[in-house]
């Protein structure tokens, strides 16, 4: 089973697709010529057992193909029953960007009688939508009964990613809120710890403890607490990796860069949040503190 894609030779050049092996479809591959097809890497992996695909022949299954997302569809009468594989291209997404790549066969469109077709126009400027009125006029002059539907490529990609972008935005907001709460919590905890250990700090200072040592003591405590939280968070990320994988596109749920940068960010936040209380503790006036307590 493979996706059948009736295309013209210009399909590949329009999308900038190059052959990995063999050649692409050519203008000579028209109706009446020998049947030829181009396949993707997924087809070669699935059905050709690692052999060289170029030159192999495949049977076109009676005109029943699976284009796009709409299951089995009869595109029309075929003019050939068998075709020779003349080229292999890289895998291309057929539907949504997050869908897995499926085996695909690219057939000269003139070998099939189609009831509908899509035309891809590549603009040389940054405003492809500006071409739509002119194309619409040309189509109306050719056949006013044609009901054309236009889509800009960037809009198609955006629509495919819209749900995932919304999910990512929600996660970013929650992440920023969590980061803020972590910073405020660390600051509050360290301030409370300084107040609770006020007498101890005064006594340590009276016996010659240096300010740097006092500062280091509180910062070290904050980093220890942050380390415990990071360990719990990494364990949770590993446990929830299957849930997160469904929200990611071509990114591992256990991406090493993410697993490295997130703990580093939390350590920096803990360090900054604990610095002010620790600095205040290291600058206690010993005489005043002992006199008051």
Q: Provide the token pair at 169.
A: 């935005």
What is this structure's pTM? 0.59
- For 43, 106, 203, 235, 271, the CA distances from 225, given in Å and listed in that order, are 52, 58, 25, 16, 11
Q: Strand pairing partners for 59?
A: 82
Q: Strand pairing partners for 38?
A: 87, 106
Co-location of 173 and 285 in the same domain: yes
- Last residue of a domain, which of 73, 100, 118? 118
pLDDT tens readout for residues 82-141: 788 899 999 988 777 777 788 888 988 877 766 777 888 888 888 888 888 888 888 888
Q: Return the pLDDT at 23.
A: 93
Co-location of 144 and 168 in the same domain: no
Phi-psi region of 214 (alpha: psi -120 to 50; beta: other; left: phi over 0): alpha
- Spans in the chain with pLDDT lower than 70: 31-33, 60-81, 113-114, 246-250, 285-286, 288-293
* Sign of the alpha-carbon dihedral angle for 69, 129, 113, 9: negative
Co-location of 139 and 237 in the same domain: no
> Distance between CA 177 and CA 174 in Å, rounded?
5
Co-location of 211 and 189 in the same domain: yes
- Do the Cβ atoms of 222 and 274 come closer than 8 Å? yes
Total of domains in the chain: 3
Angle between helices 211-239 and 256-282 (to 10 degrees): 150
> Distance between CA 283 and CA 269 in Å, rounded?
22
Co-location of 160 and 272 in the same domain: yes
Co-location of 99 and 197 in the same domain: no
Co-location of 172 and 262 in the same domain: yes
| E-assigned strand segments in 72-184 | 73-74, 82-89, 104-108
Co-location of 177 and 57 in the same domain: no
Q: Return the pLDDT at 57.
A: 84
Q: Return the pLDDT at 271.
A: 84
Four-point Cα dihedral 179, 192, 221, 178, nearest 10? -10
Q: Return the pLDDT at 291.
A: 67
- Structural domain containing residue 183: 154-292
Co-location of 78 and 204 in the same domain: no
Co-location of 172 and 261 in the same domain: yes
DSSP 22-74: E----TT--TTSPPEEEEEHHHHHHHSTTS--TT-EEE--TTEE--TTS-SEE
Q: Return the pLDDT at 173.
A: 92
- Last residue of a domain, which of 95, 118, 141? 118
> Distance between CA 97 and CA 39 in Å, rounded?
19
Co-location of 214 and 173 in the same domain: yes
Q: Provide the token pair at 206.
A: 């009276």
Co-location of 271 and 159 in the same domain: yes
């Amino acid at each position: 089973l493979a996706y059948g894609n009736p295309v013209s030779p210009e399909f590949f050049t329009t999308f900038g697709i190059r052959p990995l092996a063999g050649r692409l479809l050519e203008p000579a591959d028209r109706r009446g010529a020998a049947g030829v097809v181009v396949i993707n890497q997924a087809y070669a992996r699935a059905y050709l057992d690692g052999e060289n695909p170029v030159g192999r022949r495949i049977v076109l299954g009676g005109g029943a193909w699976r284009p796009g997302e709409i299951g089995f569809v009869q595109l029309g009468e075929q003019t050939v029953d068998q075709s020779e594989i003349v080229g292999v291209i890289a895998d291309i997404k057929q539907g949504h960007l997050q869908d897995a790549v499926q085996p695909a066969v690219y057939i000269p469109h003139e070998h099939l009688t189609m009831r509908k077709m899509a035309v891809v126009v590549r603009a040389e400027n940054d405003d492809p939508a500006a071409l739509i009125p002119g194309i619409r006029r040309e189509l109306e002059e050719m056949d006013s009964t044609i009901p054309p539907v236009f889509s800009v490529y960037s809009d198609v990609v955006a629509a495919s990613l819209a749900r995932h972008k919304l999910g990512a935005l929600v996660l970013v907001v929650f992440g920023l809120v969590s980061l803020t709460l972590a910073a405020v919590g660390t600051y509050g905890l360290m301030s409370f710890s300084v107040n609770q250990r006020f007498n101890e700090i005064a006594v340590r200072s009276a016996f010659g403890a240096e300010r740097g040592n006092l500062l280091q003591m509180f910062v070290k405590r904050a980093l220890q607490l942050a380390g415990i939280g990071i360990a719990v968070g990494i364990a949770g990320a590993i446990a929830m990796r299957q849930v997160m994988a469904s929200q990611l596109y071509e990114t591992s749920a256990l991406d090493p860069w993410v697993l490295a940068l997130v703990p580093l960010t939390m350590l920096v936040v803990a360090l900054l949040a604990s610095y002010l209380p620790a600095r205040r503790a290291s600058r206690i006036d010993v005489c005043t503190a002992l006199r008051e307590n």
